[in-house]
Structure 1
Amino acid sequence: MRPSIFILLSFLIVIACAERPSNLEKNDPNLVHFPEVSEPIQLVDNDKEHLYASYYGINSFSANQRYATVLETDIVDRLPTEEDEATLGLVDLETMEFKPLTTTKAWNFQQGCMAHWLASSPDSLIIYNDLREGAFVSIIMNVHTQEEIKTIPHPISAVSPDGKKAVSINFSRLRITRSDYGYGGEGQDKREDIQFPEDDGLFLIDLESGKSELIVSIADVKEIVPEIPEEGIEYFNHTLFSRGGSKIFWLARAIPNRNTTSLVVNIDGSQLEKCFPDGWGGSHFDWLNDEELMVTGSFENTQYSHILYTTGEENYKRLGNGLLDFDGHGTFSPDGQWMVTDTYARENKFREQKIYLMDMKTNAVRTLGQFVTPESFKGHWRCDIHCRWSPNGDMIGFNSVHSGSRQAYLLKLKF
């Protein structure tokens, strides 16, 4: 049985938010033209669980905004294994029909199968991860013909804005260091006995040829990350190209303490730099352009803040006028005028997950919605909101379990 109390409570919260201005508006609302926001639109309504097929901040929509990439699964409350296929499909946003495309065994609840639309054909070509013949790979597919155009012999974690390059990391190593972000199976060599391997790390992939180049090894960061105990190992996660494609951001982390260092490098491997002073860490992120990026970290005396950092400079700006001092998944609109972010259910006793919209000029903040999370969704199979913008910036997609099941939703914005 689905917990109807959660459905009713979430519905009332969303309606209440829509009917009155948020008390988080720091600035005069007359100076900021916040958009009108629709009620949440559920993309698929059947007896399955659904989530967007990639991590937050990654575009899930075709360039014409007709289709969205979504995963469908029966799994609810455990980590998927290499035996668990999820169905990768398209939702037609005009008819709300779910069209199955293929299945994948390389996926998780946090990042899906890392599906990206490719700029070379942004209404028809996608790339996604799979487990084939014992190896993690990525597949380029035409979504209309369902033809597999090419198999890349590496899983991807980020794709350049022009669609010609990708970043690859070790998802098997992630499975033993951050289980909910790795994949089941032995698709890569975990190198679990090596703290700082010299032959593993951040790989740049040419999507035309499929060739790879190790541009930063895990061993390369040994002297710039916190010291780890003898039983610990370092790993890389959370990669993202800058808006122009010239730089890559990622996190270097370690077990058992999960200490974190936020890093940036040019795509040729030059100018490796830390984003923050020691102790600031880093968690979630997005590029505003090729020089500025937002990272949530421990700014001065805060536990977490949304911080705008300028690469190559010790220049930090705390976003939100103190209203966004939490660890949210912030991501910028395509025109850079807005940032949407979210909260975790654990941050309040009602297990509400909230979506906030911030105006970049004034730092004024408004609530877009609040969604109650059932107690059963936690840990490795939790459901983070994970917002993502549409190409035109007039829709925001997100995941939620406020109905009692995991589903993909859409907010339509009218400016």
Structure 2
Amino acid sequence: MKINRSQFLKIFTLLLFSGLVISSCQDKTATAEKFGADTVDFPKVSDPILLIDNEKEHLYASYYGINSFSQNDKYATILETDIKDRLPTENDPATLGLVHLETQEFTPLAETRAWNFQQGCMAHWLGTSPDSLIIYNDLRDGQFVSVILNVHTKEELRTIPYPVSAVSPDGKKAVSINFSRIRKTRPDYGYGGDGQDANLETAFPEDDGLFVIDLETGTAELIVSLADVQELVPELPEEGIEYFNHTLISRGGSKIFWLARAIPHRNTTALTVNIDGSGLTKCFPDGWGGSHFDWLNDDELMVTAAYQATQYSHILFTPDQKNYKRLGGGLLDYDGHGTFSPDGKWMITDTYPSKSPIREQKIYLMDMNSQAVLPLGRFVQPEEFSGPWRCDIHCRWSSSGNLVGFNSTHTGSRQAYLFRLR
């Protein structure tokens, strides 16, 4: 009997997740006990749902931890491309589209030339109109910009002369960094096309760094320059270059977290600052590094870092007074992409692929109260996806907390998936 691609993917997914995605309360309790708690009322989690099946590659249109879903849980922002195993350039537009989560219909919205496989085009739903307006990055007339778009009318409301890397919860402000500089220092997170001055001749430029954009006026202010952090980061070799990456505004909108990194050794310093530019704070001692992160509230955040050991852990802390707390009771001692549910009750995280030949990526859900950990599934990543075009799981919550989206290549192509929680 012949089967089409859609039927194959459904059968493959059912076989892959049989016995791994736990659906009954009894099974969940047993698993929670195994991972450190007697009784935890974990939500029921659906089998993974494939969002689009049309023979192309797909990924969520933003970085992990960024809400890809409209507030009414009806739509998700997705990128569609034919590229699979190389870095995209400015000559490789991706289609930014909207997926209806019930009908799984894909509606193209626009093309973007400012995107990558790790962070998409940094599409965000805007809090001022969370079911209608998004902002995303593009390359236009040789410049990286961000575009505010109505997803229903496809009308462009405003083009802002700065790319965004994070957006405030109320949709009124955004953070901008230099994606051309990132393309030269960490290629898989930058954009092709030289849409900004990478300024590689200067290790710590005074006129580049962390910008805050007023999305209503389109104006931007440099609140922390690369030169401002020179005394806070490890000393660079003569040929070294410092750069900023991975920004996130706190849930109340008052603070920004980001990473200062360098080449050639990629030394990492985790930093926070108030959104007005005051209160610049170094989070960890040198050597702890820092990798992935999320704000729990305006005072506490989680970062994976080498806390009191060489192995990375998921650490909850307060930047001003530190108060470091290792999460997961030893079960989450690795570098994962942890992100909190909107109510702060849960943290979901993932793993990088295990060593060949298996190359398994896993997803775990943790109860913040008991620290009990529930495995949600494992995904085998084909060898062809190792490299700067790799596919990290990159979970992200909907604003209701009822949906979790993630990317995976376990069927041999890059696709966007969904868990429904209830």
Tell me, yes or no, whether TM beats 0.5. yes
Instruction: Note if 1:253 corresponds to 2:261.
Output: yes
Q: 2:114 aligns with which of 106, 115, 128?
A: 106
C-alpha contact 1:354 1:371 (8 A) present in aligned 2? yes
For 1:145-164, list aligned pairs within 5 A.
145-164=153-172
In structure 2, C-alpha distance between the alignment counterparts of 1:7 and 1:303, rounded to whole Å:
37
In structure 1, C-alpha distance between the alignment counterparts of 2:42 and 2:355, rounded to whole Å:
26
- Residue 235 of structure 1 deviates from its aligned partner by 0.2
Task: Determine the structure 2 residue equivalent to 1:34.
Answer: 42
Secondary structure of the residue aligned to 2:17 is helix
Distance 1:212 1:275, change over 3 A: same
C-alpha contact 2:63 2:118 (8 A) present in aligned 1? yes
Distance 1:248 1:348, change over 3 A: farther
C-alpha contact 1:296 1:305 (8 A) present in aligned 2? yes
Task: Determine the structure 2 residue equivalent to 1:182.
Answer: 190
C-alpha contact 1:284 1:328 (8 A) present in aligned 2? yes
Task: Determine the structure 2 residue equivalent to 1:14.
Answer: 17
Task: Determine the structure 2 residue equivalent to 1:235.
Answer: 243
- Residue 186 of structure 1 deviates from its aligned partner by 1.1
Q: 1:352 aligns with which of 360, 368, 374?
A: 360
In structure 2, C-alpha distance between the alignment counterparts of 1:184 and 1:125, rounded to whole Å:
26
In structure 2, C-alpha distance between the alignment counterparts of 1:323 and 1:343, rounded to whole Å:
12
Instruction: Note if 1:45 corresponds to 2:53.
Output: yes
Task: Determine the structure 1 residue equivalent to 2:312.
Answer: 304
Any idea what the Cα deviations from partners look like across 1:244-298, whole Å, max 9, x if unmatched? 0000000000001000000000011111011112211100000000000000000
Distance 1:9 1:47, change over 3 A: closer
C-alpha contact 1:6 1:404 (8 A) present in aligned 2? no
The Cα RMSD (Å) is 1.8
- Residue 94 of structure 1 deviates from its aligned partner by 1.6
In structure 1, C-alpha distance between the alignment counterparts of 2:67 and 2:368, rounded to whole Å:
20
In structure 2, C-alpha distance between the alignment counterparts of 1:302 and 1:15, rounded to whole Å:
35
C-alpha contact 2:271 2:281 (8 A) present in aligned 1? yes
Task: Determine the structure 1 residue equivalent to 2:348.
Answer: 340
Select between 233-242 and 340-349 the one with higher mean Cα deviation: 340-349
In structure 1, C-alpha distance between the alignment counterparts of 2:176 and 2:106, rounded to whole Å:
29
Q: 1:285 aligns with which of 293, 300, 307?
A: 293
- Residue 394 of structure 1 deviates from its aligned partner by 1.0
For 1:89-104, list aligned pairs within 5 A.
89-104=97-112
In structure 2, C-alpha distance between the alignment counterparts of 1:75 and 1:191, rounded to whole Å:
29
TM-score by length of 1: 0.96
For 1:264-275, list aligned pairs within 5 A.
264-275=272-283
Secondary structure of the residue aligned to 1:380 is coil
C-alpha contact 1:7 1:404 (8 A) present in aligned 2? no
Task: Determine the structure 2 residue equivalent to 1:213.
Answer: 221
Greater relative contact order: 1 or 2 (C-alpha under 8 angstroms, separation 6 or more)? 1
Instruction: Note if 1:60 corresponds to 2:63.
Output: no
Q: 2:398 aligns with which of 364, 383, 390?
A: 390
In structure 2, C-alpha distance between the alignment counterparts of 1:220 and 1:347, rounded to whole Å:
40
TM-score by length of 2: 0.95
- Residue 314 of structure 1 deviates from its aligned partner by 2.6
In structure 1, C-alpha distance between the alignment counterparts of 2:352 and 2:8, rounded to whole Å:
20
Unpaired runs of at least 5, structure 1: none
- Residue 36 of structure 1 deviates from its aligned partner by 1.2
- Residue 302 of structure 1 deviates from its aligned partner by 4.1
C-alpha contact 2:407 2:415 (8 A) present in aligned 1? yes
In structure 2, C-alpha distance between the alignment counterparts of 1:24 and 1:187, rounded to whole Å:
52
C-alpha contact 1:60 1:388 (8 A) present in aligned 2? yes
C-alpha contact 2:32 2:38 (8 A) present in aligned 1? no
In structure 1, C-alpha distance between the alignment counterparts of 2:417 and 2:33, rounded to whole Å:
24
In structure 2, C-alpha distance between the alignment counterparts of 1:114 and 1:288, rounded to whole Å:
21
Instruction: Note if 1:127 corresponds to 2:135.
Output: yes
Aligned residue pairs total 412
In structure 2, C-alpha distance between the alignment counterparts of 1:346 and 1:8, rounded to whole Å:
24
In structure 2, C-alpha distance between the alignment counterparts of 1:57 and 1:71, rounded to whole Å:
16
In structure 2, C-alpha distance between the alignment counterparts of 1:7 and 1:225, rounded to whole Å:
49
The one-letter amino acid paired with 1:373 is: Q
- Residue 6 of structure 1 deviates from its aligned partner by 10
Unpaired runs of at least 5, structure 2: none
The one-letter amino acid paired with 1:52 is: Y
C-alpha contact 2:13 2:48 (8 A) present in aligned 1? no
Task: Determine the structure 1 residue equivalent to 2:126.
Answer: 118
- Residue 18 of structure 1 deviates from its aligned partner by 2.5
